[in-house]
């Protein structure tokens, strides 16, 4: 493979690189997710929404919504939820918007898209009863700042549910095999399907940019969340992290 992922980036560079990368791959992003996970990302996303409990029926923010999977499902499956899907990639949001038009009968005007930065959320304090995010933690330049922003826009008792590929300490054999798949197979499939090897080399590299899962849980607690827990999917490669705003 000729292209390499950027080795390490200062925060502003990382944001610009990530935004441009998702703009580039937006057209084939959903297809690649299904191929790469055999469709199981849909099950993980279902678990993410269920983890919100009854808070999912209020004002919900999906940060780094991409093409809108979580936001669309939530708005279509709760009759009362008012959902905002936020992302900084114009092309990912354009796909989300198209999908939103196609499903409008199920959610009407209870679903909105917003262009913005996860590290500077354009919402007042305590605006939401729940926040979600899928496959974004690896992509932000400052994870602690993202967690503080999620805490700020949630009211007390608000739920957070975050899904992503994370490093776990002392991974068992099956997790190490899944990590090999991620490193060796996914970039080749990404090159074939999306035509962008660099984006799918960046994917496994970005997991390494995160602290290990126990540290991520501590950071969420520090940001103002209680009852912080995680459960693993995808042979131990993917964590669903949940908490309740103190
Ligand atoms: C891997 S995609 C995940 C999309 C969607 N949540 C899903 O699960 O399919 C990551 C998304 O995070 C967005 N993103 C990354 N950093 C961001 C930031 N600082 N602010 C807003 N969006 C961001 C990217 O534009 C991209 O759409």
Model-wide pTM > 0.75? yes
Read out DSSP for 113-164? EEE-BTTB-SS-TT-EEEEEEES-GGG-S-HHHHHHHHHHHEEEEEEEEEEE
The answer to whether residue 2 scores a pLDDT higher than 50 is no
pLDDT tens for 130-165 read 999 999 999 999 999 999 999 999 999 999 999 999
Specify the length of the chain in residues. Answer: 246
Q: What angle do CA 114, 45, 5 make, to 5 degrees?
A: 70
CA distance 190 to 99: 23
CA distance 76 to 81: 9
Residue located via tokens 């580039």: 24
Residues 62 and 82: beta-carbon distance below 8 Å: no
Query: At how many degrees (to 10) do helices 143-153 and 213-222 cross?
Result: 40
Residues 39 and 30: beta-carbon distance below 8 Å: no
Ligand 1 pocket test target in 40, 43, 64, 74 with most atoms within 8 Å of CB: 64
**pLDDT in the model for residue 12:** 80
Left if phi > 0, otherwise alpha if psi is -120 to 50, otherwise beta: which for 160?
beta
The answer to whether residue 77 scores a pLDDT higher than 60 is yes
- Full set of structural domains in the chain with CATH: 11-245 (3.40.50.150)
Pocket of ligand 1 (CB under 6 A): 15, 18-19, 22, 64-66, 69, 87-89, 92, 117-119, 134-136, 139-140
Ligand 1 nearest-atom number relative to CA 163:
8
Ligand 1 pocket test target in 24, 33, 66, 115 with most atoms within 8 Å of CB: 66
Mean pLDDT, rounded, for 1-8: 43
**pLDDT in the model for residue 118:** 98
Mean pLDDT, rounded, for 94-121: 95
The answer to whether residue 28 scores a pLDDT higher than 90 is yes
Ligand 1 nearest-atom number relative to CA 133:
6
**pLDDT in the model for residue 37:** 95
Q: Whose CA is nearest to atom 25 of ligand 1?
A: 89
The closest alpha carbon to 93, from 73, 71, 119, belongs to 71
Q: Counting Cβ atoms within 10 Å, is residue 79 exposed (0-12), middle (13-18) or buried (19+)? A: exposed
Token pair, residue 113, equals 């898209």
pLDDT tens for 165-197 read 999 999 999 999 999 999 999 999 999 999 999
CA of 38 to the centre of ligand 1 (A): 21
What is the rounded average pLDDT for all residues in the chain? Answer: 95
Q: How many CB atoms lie within 10 A of CB 156?
A: 9
Q: How confident is the model at residue 3 (pLDDT cuts 50, 70, 90)?
A: very low
Mean pLDDT, rounded, for 65-84: 97
pLDDT tens for 201-212 read 999 999 999 999
């Amino acid at each position: 493979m000729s292209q390499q992922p950027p080795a390490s980036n200062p925060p502003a560079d990382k944001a610009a690189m990530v935004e441009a990368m998702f703009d580039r791959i937006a057209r084939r992003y959903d297809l690649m997710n299904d191929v790469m996970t055999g469709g199981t990302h849909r099950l993980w996303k279902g678990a993410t929404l269920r983890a919100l409990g009854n808070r999912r029926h209020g004002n919900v923010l999906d940060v780094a919504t991409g093409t809108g999977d979580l936001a669309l499902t939530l708005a279509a499956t709760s009759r009362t939820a008012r959902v905002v899907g936020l992302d900084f990639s114009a092309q990912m949001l354009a796909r989300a918007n198209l999908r939103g038009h196609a499903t409008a009968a199920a959610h009407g005007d209870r679903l909105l898209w917003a262009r913005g930065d996860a590290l500077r959320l354009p919402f007042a304090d305590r605006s939401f009863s729940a926040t979600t995010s899928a496959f974004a933690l690896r992509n932000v330049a400052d994870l602690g700042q993202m967690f503080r922003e999620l805490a700020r826009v949630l009211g007390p008792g608000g739920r957070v549910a975050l899904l992503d590929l994370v490093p776990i300490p002392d991974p068992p054999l099956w997790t190490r095999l899944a990590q090999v798949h991620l490193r060796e197979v996914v970039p080749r499939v990404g090159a074939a399907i999306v035509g962008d090897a660099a984006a799918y080399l960046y994917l496994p590299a970005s997991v390494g940019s995160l602290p290990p899962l126990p540290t991520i849980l501590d950071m969420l607690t520090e940001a103002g969340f209680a009852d912080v827990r995680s459960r693993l999917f995808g042979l131990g490669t993917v964590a669903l992290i949940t908490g309740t705003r103190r």
